[in-house]
């Protein structure tokens, strides 16, 4: 089993380590591997879209012709875990708290509308215990760093909220979180994702 970590920009190493730990804990034979090219993406069984800067990741993927390849793989049933910027990339429409609607490249794999940096700038990052009961995780330490929130979700299962803000969703084999599970010291989300393969 090969699990790709899109390694264009962002916290790729932390996700590699989280996937490797999850595979070990599940006693599964597999590996996490950084992917940057169409050929590498085509060889993986699942893909993590990590946190980072969503406009940069989307633009570089578009320039390298990767958006269409990733979208085709998702449409054919490949499991995907989108984290923070990865959630933004998977969404259908994006606004920014300061600039309004964005025109950034998106996969449009989820019928969700979201707001980037919804909780504010980097200095307003925080940790909060959340529940992901729908996928069998009653307590999880959510690490929110310049996190987006989903304002509208259609044809998706809502997995967690903070107040009225949607912070995680699932559709088929797509899991998308506003928080960073790779920084939580808990592989539960990564194990659930691997279980979708």
In the set 61, 84, 115, 190, the catalytic residue is: 84
In the set 16, 61, 115, 180, the catalytic residue is: 180
Calpha distance 97→99 (Å, rounded) = 6
Calpha distance 5→8 (Å, rounded) = 9
Nearest to 55 by CA among 116, 118, 145, 143: 116
H or E element in which residue 192 lies: helix 188-194
84 in active site? yes
Residue with tokens 């699942």: 46
Task: Report which DSSP code applies to 135.
Answer: G
* SS3 at position 159: strand
In the set 16, 61, 182, 190, the catalytic residue is: 182
R_g of the chain, CA atoms, integer Å: 15
43 in active site? no
Contact (Cβ atoms closer than 8 angstroms) between residue 4 and residue 47: yes
Residues 6+ apart with CB under 8 A from 158: 134, 166, 168, 169
190 in active site? no
Residues annotated as catalytic (active site), given as ranges: 84, 180, 182
């Amino acid at each position: 089993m090969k699990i790709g970590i899109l390694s264009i920009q962002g916290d790729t190493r932390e996700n590699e380590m989280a996937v490797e730990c999850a595979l070990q804990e599940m006693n599964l034979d597999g590996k996490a591997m950084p992917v940057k090219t169409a050929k590498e993406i085509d060889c993986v069984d699942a893909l993590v879209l990590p946190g980072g800067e969503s406009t940069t990741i989307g633009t570089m993927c578009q320039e390298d012709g990767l958006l269409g390849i990733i979208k085709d793989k998702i449409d054919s049933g490949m499991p995907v875990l989108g984290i923070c910027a990865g959630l933004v990339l998977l969404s259908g429409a994006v606004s920014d708290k300061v600039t309004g609607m964005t025109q950034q490249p998106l996969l449009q794999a989820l019928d969700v509308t979201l707001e980037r940096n919804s909780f504010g700038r980097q200095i307003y990052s925080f940790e909060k215990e959340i529940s992901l009961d729908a996928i069998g995780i009653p307590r999880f330490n959510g690490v929110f760093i310049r996190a987006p929130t989903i304002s509208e979700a259609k044809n998706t299962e809502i997995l967690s909220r903070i107040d009225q803000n949607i912070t995680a969703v699932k559709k088929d084999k797509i899991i998308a979180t506003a928080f960073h599970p790779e920084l939580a010291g808990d592989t539960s989300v990564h194990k659930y994702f691997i279980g979708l393969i």
